[in-house]
Chain A
């Protein structure tokens, strides 16, 4: 809490209004919120099935798959960015093929930011959802099956509502992690205002020029994050 208090105390309150309306601030904030939300959606799309396979799939190498999925948690984000470049970069394993076939290149694009953020934030979602799945009673799904439900129907109407708080909690963690991501973003997606310069990047660069500007940007990010997370927690994650 002390560092946060330090931010609040040190903020240039007198010049705050005109600093807030500078174009770079709003652009970075808009980009940050957009990419964090898209990254969370991507994580949900890929992470929930992944978690289901780990918890219920009965795969032989599940233990190792789980360890692999949590690698981005221990990897320094910049290293993650380098790894992404080696795979999705212009000369990367997948990226080279993408560039040659479709002329599509992920680095230095907003899509690249989303991919970088999803990469570092996915473990949070997978772990939370897998935990929820393990905690949910599998007998409800079996009961649904005996009543004639297909696996997809059972998943959609029985499992998902059961694990919804866990999924929501994982999504919130995922969103928060994606919002604050810096190392992988600046390495993989680069830094360009309006396109790839998220709030953390803007803070870092502002720090080199103007400490007050950096503090203002940090405060904005802090306030927006706290407001959204507080609103979400009460509505979705609380005990119904």
Chain B
């Protein structure tokens, strides 16, 4: 009697498993789930773009995983199942393309510039990069795009800065400012804008020397290639570009 129950359960499990993988993935219409790995600085804007995408593409769900671009690139090259990768710098995208994990050429869809994030009201009176040397500063680690851009900007300003911490993504650096643990952090204009209730963004001229291009690409082993292409096309379309501009990104 119990053997028949086990056999019945096994049949149910097998049938459930076979249901999805029946049709070849290339012929599946743009439905299902699109998994997007995106740089941490895209959190607010891509979440909004994802909701708009789901509204205009009924039956499709977009799931995001936000984090430091270098970490996400490592996940992809180690075989993480994802459909789209949006990086905060061409260098981190190169990790993915060099490993042959990209389907097609990456396309730049936005650009981002650094600002100095300070606690609301700028109590330290920070005016530019030179003022950072006398306070506690959080930077992103060098291998993360915002850390590389910060290094370039500091070098072009001739400022030698020793941070108190090198965070693994830009949101972690920003949260240190929000918590009041550091007096300043070099983050993107979009991050300072998203956290405008807690931080102020101080512009500085040298940020123009270290503008990050944000490339996006569909991945070769994508579980949902049609969905990936649809999302790619949407990100480059007018509504998404407007959402990115609202967040503080510059056009590509």
User: Which residues of A pack against B, CB within 8 Å?
Assistant: 85, 89-91, 107-108, 186, 189-193, 196, 204-205, 207-209, 211
Contacts and interface: CB of A to CB of B under 8 A. Distances in A.
B168 A205 contact: yes
Contacts of B138: 190
Contacts of B168: 186, 191, 204-205, 208
A108 B164 CA distance: 6
A209 B163 CA distance: 20
A192 B163 contact: yes
Interface stretch (B5-13, B19-27, B175-183): B175-183
B68 interface: yes
Given A108-B165, A192-B166, A205 B176 contact: no
A85 B74 contact: no
B175 to A, nearest CB: 9
Contact of B141 (A189, A196, A205, A211): A205
Nearest to B176: A190
B167 A191 contact: yes
B181 A107 contact: yes
A192 B143 contact: no
Nearest to A204: B168
A85 B165 contact: no
B71 interface: yes
27 contacts: A85-B179, A85-B181, A89-B180, A90-B180, A90-B181, A91-B179, A91-B180, A107-B164, A107-B181, A108-B136, A108-B182, A190-B164, A190-B165, A190-B166, A191-B141, A191-B166, A192-B163, A192-B164, A192-B165, A205-B143, A208-B68, A208-B71, A208-B73, A208-B74, A208-B144, A209-B143, A211-B78
A91 B164 CA distance: 17
Contacts, number: 55
Contacts of A90: 180-181
Nearest to A197: B166
A207 B74 contact: yes
B212 interface: no
Nearest to A82: B179
Contacts of A196: 165
A1 B123 CA distance: 53
Interface footprint category on B? 20 to 34
A189 B167 CA distance: 11
- Most A CB contacts (10 A, CB to CB) among B138, B141, B167, B181 go to B181
B74 A190 contact: no
A179 to B, nearest CB: 20
Contacts of B164: 107-108, 190, 192
A191 B73 CA distance: 21
B174 to A, nearest CB: 14
Interface in B124-160: 136, 138, 141, 143-144
Nearest first, the 9 closest Cβ-Cβ pairs linking A and B are: A190-B165, A208-B70, A108-B164, A91-B180, A208-B71, A209-B143, A191-B166, A107-B181, A90-B181
A155 B182 CA distance: 45
Residue among A91, A186, A193, A205 facing the most chain B CB atoms (10 A cut-off): A205
A191 B144 CA distance: 14
Given A90-B180, A91-B179, A190-B138, A208 B143 contact: yes
Contacts of A193: 166
A191 B181 contact: no
Nearest to B78: A211
A17 B171 CA distance: 36
Nearest to A214: B74
A91 B71 CA distance: 31
A8 B78 CA distance: 18
- Of residues A91, A108, A190, A211, which shows the largest number of chain B Cβ atoms within 10 Å of its Cβ? A190
A52 to B, nearest CB: 36
A207 B67 CA distance: 14
A229 to B, nearest CB: 29
Contact of B165 (A91, A191, A211): A191
B88 to A, nearest CB: 13
A90 B136 CA distance: 11
A62 to B, nearest CB: 35
